[in-house]
Amino acid sequence: MDNSLLFKGPEKINKLIRPVLDSMTKIGIAVDLDILDKLSGELRGKIEILEKKAFEALGHMFNLNSPKQLAEVLFVELKLPPAKRTKTGYSTDEQTLKNLLNLHPLIAILLDYRELYKVQSTYAEALPRAIGSDNRIHSIFQADKTATGRLTSSEPNLQNIPIRGEWGERIRRAFVPSSGFIFLTADYSQFEFRILAHFTGDGKLLSSFENHIDIHRATAAEIFHKKPAEITDEERRVAKTVNFGILYGMSPHGLSEELGIDHEQAQNFIHDYFTSFGTVKFYLENLLRQACKKGYIETLGGFRRYIPELGSDNLMVRSSGERMAINFPTQGTAAEIMKVAMINLFGRLRQEKLKSRIILQIHDELLLEVSTGEMEKVKPIVKEEMEGVIKLKVPLKVDLKLGQNWGEMKEIAE
DNA sequence: GGGGATGGTG
DNA sequence: CCTGCACCATCCCT
């Protein structure tokens, strides 16, 4: 076990992953320009209509994309009640706008406009500009740019392509396999929660994974004091937010913002969470104590992050440091496990002289192009290399999906 | 918590 | 006048 590449240190891992990332950049990913052009045209029409409706609802024109002008319109001209403040004025972010929905017809139009404008400007119009003469996009992947060890993707960033809603799927459908290949995605199931279960050794977390119980449902059962089978979709959604909140070191205030509930209720959720998962509470307290004492925190593979903020007199700064310390071991360990998986998988595909290749990495997921005819050989290799990086108290689990484009990936049984 | 891209602003 | 730059707010992903 100790001979896993994971324990050879971050420098070694980052050196070995370089050829993998260079290969991904060089190969790139094919994009169907026709799909993006049609999508962009459709969006252009809808955005124009929304713009007209907005000006009609207000009575005059202004720059819908200017937070400054919008704040003036909403909070001075229309005298709507301002909520959050930013450094420079009043916030007009999505959460704020949603709370004003019933107060003026302009708000609903603005929300629709923002959604479509984002898809149009950042994706439908921008991605075509990144397409090379080979009809492919060659994003740059870097291994040593983040505090936690995650990869970055830039020019363009292919790690933030939309996935939710109608527009997310339509953008992703424009990403297609090379001819003679099919897309295979392999994602680590509940990646960071399995690592948290390993680090904490919490009995409830471990048994949830052992018994294949959905982790968010299990948490919902604990914080709503119900049987797992009786949990509603809404309760599961709340529990999912609480789970991620724990992973990110979120405060009661942060959780209440995220869920749109009052501070006291958020505090209750967190209290009930730590009552049920007592070992997680113990682990986090010990983690912070160690981090303060040593000034740094470590991943499973020994990657360190120094956190001087923990010694600050300023509460905001210190709290921010505590969140970094809480989040770093799980996010950082997940990142290095994925890196080792990529190095080993890359080597294995080469060793077995396969044409199939890694195309993208999105933190807990790999997108591969699998050559026609290689599928039955590649599937077990991908699973083995990803699941086999390290044996934790909870086994790593990888789910596979297949598709003729990135927007319509379908789960497959192995 | 960790990123990158966009448009506005000065 | 224009261009480049830094910063901010916002929003997409995990």
CATH assignment of A32-125, among 1.20.1060.10, 3.40.50.720, 1.10.4080.10, 1.20.140.160: 1.20.1060.10
Q: How far is the CA of A153 from the C1' of C10 (A)?
A: 20
CA nearest A354: which of A181, A105, A140?
A181
Confidence of residue A253 (pLDDT cuts 50, 70, 90): confident
Q: Using CA atoms, how far apart are residues A402 and A397, in angstroms rounded to an integer?
A: 17
Q: Is the CB of A212 under 7 A from strand C?
A: no
> A6 is written with which tokens?
């994971």
Note the pLDDT tens digit of each residue in A288-307: 999 999 999 999 999 999 99
**Any idea which nucleotide's C1' is nearest the CA of A116?**
C11
Residue ranges per domain, chain A? 3-30+137-189+334-409, 32-125, 196-293
Q: Using CA atoms, how far apart are residues A325 and A298, in angstroms rounded to an integer?
A: 9
Whose CA is nearest the C1' atom of nucleotide B3?
A: A152
**In A202-303, beta strands by DSSP E:** 296-298
**Any idea which nucleotide's C1' is nearest the CA of A192?**
C14
Class of domain A3-30+137-189+334-409: alpha beta
Identical fold for domains A3-30+137-189+334-409 and A196-293, yes or no, is no
Q: Using CA atoms, how far apart are residues A375 and A381, in angstroms rounded to an integer?
A: 10
C-alpha neighbours within 13 Å on the C-beta side of residue A83 = 12
Q: How far is the CA of A27 from the C1' of B1 (A)?
A: 31
Residues contacting strand B at CB < 7 A? A 63, 65-69, 121-122, 125-126, 142, 145-148, 150, 152-157, 159-160, 248-249, 320, 323-324, 327, 331, 363
pTM of the model: 0.96
Q: How far is the CA of A340 from the C1' of B5 (A)?
A: 29
Q: Is the CB of A67 under 7 A from strand C?
A: yes
Q: Using CA atoms, how far apart are residues A322 and A288, in angstroms rounded to an integer?
A: 7
Whose CA is nearest the C1' atom of nucleotide B6?
A: A122
Q: Using CA atoms, how far apart are residues A279 and A277, in angstroms rounded to an integer?
A: 6
Q: How far is the CA of A86 from the C1' of B10 (A)?
A: 17
> A113 is written with which tokens?
């406009």
- Chain C positions with any atom < 7 A from a protein CB: 8-14
Q: How far is the CA of A222 from the C1' of B3 (A)?
A: 32
Report residues 332-391 of A contacting strand C, contact meaning Cβ closer than 7 Å. 362-365
Residue A106's SS3 state is helix
- The number of residues making up chain A comes to 414
**Any idea which nucleotide's C1' is nearest the CA of A323?**
B1
Note the pLDDT tens digit of each residue in A35-67: 999 999 999 999 999 999 999 999 999 999 999
Note the pLDDT tens digit of each residue in A318-358: 999 999 999 999 999 999 999 999 999 999 999 999 999 99
Q: How far is the CA of A162 from the C1' of C5 (A)?
A: 29
**In A231-371, beta strands by DSSP E:** 296-298, 304-306, 357-361, 365-371
| pLDDT reading at A184 higher than 80 | yes
> A150 is written with which tokens?
């995650």
CB A238, CB A219: distance < 8 Å: no
- What percent of chain A stands above pLDDT 90? 92
CA nearest A93: which of A77, A116, A110, A73?
A110
Instruction: State mean pLDDT over A238-264.
Output: 90
| pLDDT reading at A249 higher than 70 | yes
Q: Residues of A343-375 as b/e, b for ≥16 C-beta within 10 angstroms?
A: bbbbeebeeeeeebbbbbbbbbbbbbbbbeebe
For residue A187, the surrounding DSSP H or E stretch is: strand A181-188
* Dihedral sign for Cα atoms in the order A169, A171, A177, A183: negative
Q: What is the pLDDT of residue A1?
A: 56
Q: How far is the CA of A87 from the C1' of C8 (A)?
A: 8
- Chain B positions with any atom < 7 A from a protein CB: 1-10
A358 has which bridge partners?
A368
**Any idea which nucleotide's C1' is nearest the CA of A188?**
C14
| pLDDT reading at A259 higher than 90 | no
| pLDDT reading at A2 higher than 80 | no
Confidence of residue A258 (pLDDT cuts 50, 70, 90): confident
Alpha carbon A364 to chain centroid, angstroms: 8
Pairing status of strand A398-403 against strand A181-188: antiparallel
For residue A352, the surrounding DSSP H or E stretch is: none
Note the pLDDT tens digit of each residue in A126-180: 999 999 999 999 999 999 999 999 999 999 999 999 999 999 999 999 999 999 9
Q: Using CA atoms, how far apart are residues A303 and A288, in angstroms rounded to an integer?
A: 17
CA nearest A183: which of A25, A1, A370, A351?
A370
The pLDDT mean for chain A works out to: 94
CATH assignment of A196-293, among 3.90.1200, 1.20.1630, 1.10.150, 1.25.40: 1.10.150
Confidence of residue A413 (pLDDT cuts 50, 70, 90): confident
> A328 is written with which tokens?
């770093």
Q: Using CA atoms, how far apart are residues A325 and A119, in angstroms rounded to an integer?
A: 34
